[in-house]
């Protein structure tokens, strides 16, 4: 009997030691890896840049999820959602899955419609822990080239009431459309929004056919391409001549300003092509 009890005690000791060994599995084992924290956790939060807001969240073990909303007006906004793996050395996230939507709202605040613009947007987001900011570079439309968002910053409201009655968000959305068309040299798009006569590099052009013939023989200069790439299309400069994009590459104005007609914006000047 004593011999039986001794054997049982030895067996229990062996089982106990095995259990302890399992609990103290060395680093790098499957158990240890499951306890790892997503490095994006260090950057989770809400970031702001003028009229745009970006929310950063963790996705899975090592990816970041981004949601950007860019206010158009009280009745609409643009929305981007994208994700990608964080490069912990460069603190960058390259994404290829961006979905852009145009969202409109009813008077009670409920969503009236969501229109998907594209589902394959690409770009890069870079974190800067030194100043609690991040930089967004949009490779799809170039609406956010080197656009800096600051943690906790509230979006600022622009005011263009001195030159148009159009809501600020609509003005900036129109500017973003022109920016993309200019950078991609989509002159047929540009021509849709021109008020004639239009000035091109200081020369007056009277009609659409002549404008397209002129622009199709030219290209955006390196200097103007760089300036337009850096244009955020928010809090745009304006004066009595109109609203300016990219240091004067494009000037727009509202020909219906101070009238009873519906506000609209038209291009009056195109520069920086050669």
**Which tens digit of pLDDT belongs to each residue from 20-56?**
333 333 333 333 333 468 999 999 989 988 778 899 9
The arithmetic mean of pLDDT across residues 198-212, rounded, is: 97
Task: Give 99 or 156, the one with higher predicted confidence.
Answer: 99
Tokens 């939507």, located at residue: 101
Q: pTM for this one?
A: 0.50
User: What is the model's pLDDT at position 106?
Assistant: 63
Torsion angle (degrees, nearest 10) of CA 78, 82, 87, 90: -10
Share of the chain above pLDDT 70, in %: 81
Which of the four pLDDT bands, split at 50, 70 and 90, describes residue 166?
very high
Torsion angle (degrees, nearest 10) of CA 171, 172, 177, 181: 100
Whole-angstrom distance, CA of residue 81 vs CA of residue 68: 6
Classify residue 185 by burial, with Cβ atoms within 10 Å: 0-12, 13-18, 19+.
middle
User: What is the model's pLDDT at position 153?
Assistant: 65
Whole-angstrom distance, CA of residue 203 vs CA of residue 218: 14
**Which tens digit of pLDDT belongs to each residue from 220-274?**
999 999 889 888 888 888 888 899 999 899 999 999 999 999 999 999 999 999 9
Beta carbons within 10 angstroms of residue 67's beta carbon: 15
Whole-angstrom distance, CA of residue 65 vs CA of residue 132: 17
User: What is the model's pLDDT at position 237?
Assistant: 87
Whole-angstrom distance, CA of residue 35 vs CA of residue 166: 53
The arithmetic mean of pLDDT across residues 188-206, rounded, is: 96
Share of the chain above pLDDT 90, in %: 60
Task: Give 2 or 71, the one with higher predicted confidence.
Answer: 71
**Which tens digit of pLDDT belongs to each residue from 65-86?**
999 998 765 567 889 999 999 9
Whole-angstrom distance, CA of residue 236 vs CA of residue 246: 9
Task: Give 210 or 232, the one with higher predicted confidence.
Answer: 210
| Residue 150 scores a pLDDT above 70 | yes
Per domain, the residue ranges of the chain are 39-151, 168-270
Task: Give 233 or 133, the one with higher predicted confidence.
Answer: 133
Task: Give 256 or 15, the one with higher predicted confidence.
Answer: 256
User: What is the model's pLDDT at position 107?
Assistant: 54
| Residue 142 scores a pLDDT above 80 | yes
User: What is the model's pLDDT at position 20?
Assistant: 38
Mean residue pLDDT of the chain comes to 84
């Amino acid at each position: 009997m004593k011999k039986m009890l001794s054997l049982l005690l030895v067996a229990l000791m062996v089982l106990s030691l095995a259990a302890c060994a399992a609990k103290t599995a060395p680093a790098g084992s499957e158990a240890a890896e499951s306890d790892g924290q997503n490095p994006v956790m260090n950057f989770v939060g809400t970031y702001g840049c003028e009229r745009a807001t970006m929310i950063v969240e963790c996705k899975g073990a090592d990816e970041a999820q981004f949601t950007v909303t860019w206010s158009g007006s009280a009745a609409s906004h643009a929305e981007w959602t994208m994700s990608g793996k964080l490069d912990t050395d460069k603190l960058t996230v390259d994404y290829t899955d961006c979905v852009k939507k145009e969202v409109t709202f009813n008077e009670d605040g409920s969503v009236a419609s969501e229109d998907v613009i594209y589902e394959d947007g690409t770009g890069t987001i870079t974190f800067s822990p030194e100043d609690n900011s991040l930089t967004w570079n949009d490779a799809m439309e170039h609406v956010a080239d080197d656009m800096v968002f600051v943690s906790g910053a509230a979006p600022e409201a622009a005011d263009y009431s001195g030159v148009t009655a159009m809501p600020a968000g609509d003005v900036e959305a129109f500017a973003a459309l022109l920016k993309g068309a200019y950078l991609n040299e989509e002159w047929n798009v540009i021509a849709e929004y021109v008020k004639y006569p239009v000035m091109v590099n200081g020369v007056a052009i009277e009609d659409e056919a002549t404008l397209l013939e002129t622009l199709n023989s030219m290209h955006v200069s390196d200097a103007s391409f760089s300036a337009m790439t850096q244009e955020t299309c928010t809090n745009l400069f304006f004066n009595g001549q109109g609203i300016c994009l990219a240091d004067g590459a494009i000037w727009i104005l509202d020909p219906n300003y101070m009238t009873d007609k519906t506000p609209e914006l038209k291009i009056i000047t195109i520069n920086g092509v050669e």
